[in-house]
Amino acid sequence: MTSYILLVSAVILLCVSLKKVSNKLGVPMLLAFILLGMVFGTDGILKIPFDNFKIAEQICSVSLIFIMFYGGFGTNWRHAKPAAAKAALLSTLGVLLTALLTGLFCYFELRFGFWESMLTGAVVSSTDAASVFSILRSRRLNLKDNTASLLEVESGSNDPCSYMLTVIILSVMSGDFSGGALVWMILAQIIFGALVGVAVALASAFVLTRVQFGEDGFDTIFVFSMALAAYAVASVIGGNGYLAVYITGIILGNRPLKNKKSLVHFFDGITGLMQMLLFFLLGLLAFPSQLPKILPYALAIALFLTFVSRPISVFFILTPFRCKIRQQLLVSWAGLRGAASIVFAIMAVVSPAYMKHDVFHIVIFIVLFSISIQGSLIGILAKKLDMIDESGNVMKTFSDYSEEMPVEFVKISVTKNHPWANRKIRELQSLPDLLLVLILRGDKRLIPNGNTVVHPGDKIVLSALSPEENLGIHLTEIHVEADSRWVNKPLSKIKIGDGKLVLVLKRAENVMIPNGETVVLENDILVISQV
């Protein structure tokens, strides 16, 4: 037992080290982790025997739940919204076209069986977000024409469609097929998956905003369990569990939740661990000695996928939107295959469906080809196509949350003879750089304004610069961009909603306590308090 624990810790440390190296080199970490798994595997140096595809499928399925959830949770919907329609078509119709064209190539040119051809097309039809953005993030490259957001939403949301195609084709190959059942399966996958995702997200948001958890970290545990629940409930009733998880993540990630920064940090860590586990396990399952046997088929499919089926699908969908040729070329090239394709290939291996060819190792080769060749050239191609946006970086695409603002809250009691008793807020003479942010009046919590009268018995909460946060007031950061309606307006003229107050204004390296006359400028960061 101890030796296994030591081995696991060594593998994780190696994966962390490889991640740092791959980020510096701009190579997707997926490639490094799979190769490490191959080194540890039966054909590798350490020769660890592992070929249990059923256990691997279960582990990988759970890992994909959190990868899908965080893919949605980390998407900045405000930046992604302009590309949402194009991304939705690419992640549905684009997946179908890619799968169909690749399947037909396997059938007519490589002489695979028809359904085995369609299965091969289905499992490689989705793209991998982690691979693309490990490159863009490591080099801090943003792409013109909102291309980064387009790729993020497409690659984060197309796995459910690929999964649905794989499940349907495997059902047909296993003999569980009828016209009515097929139609029902498709409708159930989409409708039940979407409904469960929305329902779980709204229920989770309601609980997170209304319930005070007794201990720190319990809200994180709650969200963790709800991500699992979204997948499980949808799957039990015949829906698409991955679609439910993605929708839950994207709704929760774009709501002003309490302790969102801690949620982001937790799921960033757990997703990183799941990616390490999943990619290493997939490499461990592979037998490099089998790759030469499938090389002619796998190389032909990889080339057709890269230069024919993916570009045709992208140009067919994006041309009606009048997207520039250079953008379509880059989107076509950035369609990297990743972990989901290998997981779906594992599903094919453990299914009762008969397959003549080694689909698993064919997909392994395609993924290695995709992330090593396409992945390494994304940055170079983007520069050649003049698609690099020098005015920003790719992190705008994500719902990132910076460190907490240095704010401390101080509570004082107003007695009958207190100089502030029975006076309006705007009449009070307080210390510089202090702001009255909350009045506790009995069981009520009041967000004051200039005309609010302070009563004897009130407890007053003041804010000042400090690294602390307490008293049940939670903070939300808003970055003021050039097109914001708040730019060049004083705070007194800005409506931010009932029960909210601008607590801190951060401008470049300066942090200040604002007042009603403070004018908001482009690139300011407003810290808004809400009870």
pLDDT given at position 404: 43
pLDDT tens, residue by residue, 158-202 = 999 999 999 999 988 887 666 677 788 888 999 999 999 999 999
Three-state DSSP state, 514: coil
User: Average pLDDT over the chain, rounded to whole?
Assistant: 83
Spell out a b/e string for 116-134, using b for 16 or more CB atoms within 10 Å of the CB, else e.
bbbbbbbbbbbbbbbbbbb
pLDDT given at position 95: 96
Which residues make Cβ contacts (< 8 Å) with residue 378, sequence separation at least 6?
A: 132, 135, 136, 330, 333, 334
Q: Are 314 and 94 in contact (CB under 8 A)?
A: yes
pLDDT given at position 135: 66
The percentage of residues in the chain with a pLDDT greater than 90, rounded to a whole number, is 30
**11 has pLDDT over 50:** yes
pLDDT given at position 484: 83
Pairing relationship of beta strands 500-507 and 510-512 according to DSSP bridges: antiparallel
Torsion of CA 86, 89, 91, 93, to 10 degrees: -150
Torsion of CA 123, 125, 130, 133, to 10 degrees: 170
Q: Which of 367, 389, 376, 374 is nearest to 150 (CA)?
A: 389
pLDDT tens, residue by residue, 245-285 = 999 999 998 887 777 777 877 888 888 788 888 888 888 88
Question: Of 3 and 520, which is predicted with more confidence?
Answer: 520
All structural domains of the chain, each given as residue ranges with its CATH number in brackets, are 2-397 (1.20.1530.20), 407-530 (3.30.70.1450)
pTM of the model: 0.73
CA angle 180/183/186 to nearest 5° reads 145
pLDDT confidence bin for 408, thresholds 50/70/90: low
- Two tokens, residue 185: 């399966």
Torsion of CA 447, 453, 457, 460, to 10 degrees: 40
Q: Are 463 and 409 in contact (CB under 8 A)?
A: yes
**55 has pLDDT over 70:** yes
pLDDT tens, residue by residue, 118-170 = 999 999 999 986 666 666 666 666 788 888 888 888 888 899 999 999 999 99
Count Cβ atoms below 10 Å from residue 101 Cβ, excluding itself.
19
Give the length of the chain: 531
pLDDT given at position 107: 96
Q: Which of 228, 225, 229 is nearest to 217 (CA)?
A: 225
pLDDT given at position 209: 82
- Calculate mean pLDDT across residues 319-325: 93
CA distance 360 to 344: 9
pLDDT given at position 291: 87
- Two tokens, residue 308: 């024919």
